[in-house]
Chains A and B, each alone.
Chain A
């Protein structure tokens, strides 16, 4: 059918364009936008793709997912959304297949002892599977819209009057969080500027527009000022499976300073940033950009003699973090494994 083939190639083009945009990097994309675009693309694949059985659909999604994540490994939200959709497909298939709601999909000692055979093979075709999966993806998109608001709603429980809060760089989630608290409470914010991109400046401007008393300081002064800070509230790029963070460069310093002064470190991040990867191959998370910001090209003579690096992200180990505030509530870093098992299926950890 020419219609189907046309749609197929148009879809392929859209995926290619998405992957190319990711690869190019360029301006800092909002994680929520990346997640939304990924989900829309996946919904198109489910709707228009050529598949008849759940197994085929999962293979299709997996292939496309691998293509998209390979384009920019540091954008973990893409992989997370692909895994969420795979889990949704498994659930919908299970529901149609008539299996009970128990979470017998996970490996466990209990399952090892009581199961009597091989696992699912996803071969039975169900005509309503397509519609069910698309509906589930739509629900996920709606959930995505509300994440920042859900996090901001919890602000009043954590921020009290006359507190000094420290943050680093520019996180839209933290901005919403602080703005919500500022409606009812009076507090001060110290923003570390987060060189070399100095996004902290933009954060400070936005916060001061809401009449929050804001101070900007350089990253070197973090330790010196930490003794006067009551809480540190930061955003992050990714949450890893062991409860660690991949956050903007400079966050590890902030976390260490906070630990030294026993200041609580609160991370505001929505659940779609939770990735089931562990920090083993550090290379896969690192993203380096042009060192123009660190040492401009005008310093031509020196450039020939030295190596200049400009990493974008930092690794923060789980011991330094006190609390994760996400759209589903507050959790300790040691509880992350449980949240992960609810969002993703173990077979999908490796795409």
Chain B
């Protein structure tokens, strides 16, 4: 499969289903790449897959694509350890890949089921930017006949908060869009903060749209619970100790990385929130405290 075909498959998925996560689209594209691969060895396969993942990261530089790719590579390694015959191995890989994709598509519903009991009747929720998982959770809470109201930050520079507000209004939830700068002002009125994540790092912290760290700090200062909802394929093998440690390739959009002369003049799109500010993480592996996240990653990668 050529590079262009791969990019086209990836883009087509995102176009056809705006609800799908970019990590899942990446994994699906890589599975298609795997099916059409003509190589004869595991090493050859891994190398071509690494190149494919690089190509995809150049199209969409988000953390999710990187973690999805890393997971797929790990999946290949684990499966190849069990079977020495390459063609049988490839069959099993394709079969398991389909099962994995099927399971992963159910993950949002699992998370919604775990998280909606935490939304109490009459709660006022603060959320940040546009997250499909948060939307699913709030949808589940509405289905459970809970009544609550939501504050959404506008989330500049792309105004993603407006998109979230529109989606929430369709569900008949009372929404107020607030300025990013108004988070400190609104925090005393809020009962809980609920955000999604683009990536969950080894320490249990999260990487999310710029502005999340601010919200977390304000929530901690006012003793409000800060909940994160994320699917398990977003767990990534990074351990940033501060904002500088997050690699540049995640901070900026793919086009900016290619064309910009001086990155220090660009505005980053993501920030890192440390685990001490997070109360609980809701994932399809269950409700986890931040310390449990590294346990999960160790189980996978060791």
Residues of A within 8 A of B (CB): 107-110, 112-117, 241-243, 278, 280-281, 334-338, 346, 349
Offer 12 A-B interface pairs, CB within 8 angstroms, sorted by A: A107-B284, A109-B71, A109-B233, A110-B300, A113-B96, A113-B100, A242-B280, A334-B291, A337-B292, A337-B295, A338-B292, A346-B286
Are the CB atoms of A108 and B92 closer together than 8 Å? no
Question: CB-CB < 8 A to A280: which residues of B?
Answer: 117-118, 120
Q: Which of B78, B287, B291 is in CB contact (< 8 Å) with A278?
A: B287
- In chain B, residues 271-290, which have Cβ atoms closer than 8 Å to a Cβ of chain A? 279-280, 284-289
Instruction: Say whether B145 faces chain A, with CB atoms less than 8 Å apart.
Output: no
CB-CB < 8 A to A114: which residues of B?
A: 75, 78-79, 96
With contacts A108-B296, A278-B287 taken as known, whether A113 is within 8 angstroms of B117 at the C-beta atoms is no
Measured between beta carbons, the chain A residues less than 8 angstroms from B297 are 109
CA distance A338 to B293 in the complex (A): 11
Task: A113-B78, A114-B78, A116-B96 given; name 6 further pairs at CB < 8 Å.
Answer: A109-B235, A109-B296, A112-B104, A116-B95, A281-B117, A334-B289
Q: Is the CB of B288 within 8 A of A112?
A: no
B232 touches A337 (CB 8 A): no
Neighbouring B residues of A107 by C-beta, 8 Å: 284-286
Alpha-carbon distance A335/B235, docked complex (angstroms): 20
**CA of A115 to CA of B92 in the docked complex: distance in angstroms?**
11
Query: Which chain B residues (89-121) contact chain A, with CB distance < 8 Å?
Result: 92, 95-96, 99-100, 103-104, 117-118, 120
Chain B interface size, as a band, is 20 to 34
Contact B292 A110 (CB under 8 A): no
Q: Contact: B299 with A337, CB < 8 Å? A: no
In the complex, A281→B297 CA distance in Å? 30
Separation in Å of the B71 CB from the closest CB of chain A?
Answer: 7
B100 surroundings in chain A (CB, below 8 A)? 112-113
Residues of B within 8 A of A (CB): 71, 74-75, 78-79, 92, 95-96, 99-100, 103-104, 117-118, 120, 232-233, 235, 279-280, 284-289, 291-292, 295-297, 299-300
Distance of A339 from chain B, by nearest CB (Å): 11
Please state if B78 and A337 are interface contacts (CB–CB under 8 Å): no
Q: How far is the CB of B159 from chain A (nearest CB, A)?
A: 32
* A243 touching B289, Cβ below 8 Å: yes
Residue of A nearest to B115 (CB): A280
Which residues of chain A are near B300, meaning CB under 8 Å?
Answer: 108-110, 113
- Is the CB–CB distance between B289 and A242 below 8 Å? yes
Q: Which residues of A contact B99 (CB under 8 A)?
A: 115-117
A113 contact set on B, CB distance < 8 A: 71, 74-75, 78, 96, 100, 300
Q: Shortest beta-carbon distance, B301 to chain A, in Å? A: 9
**Residue of B whose beta carbon sits closest to that of A118:** B99
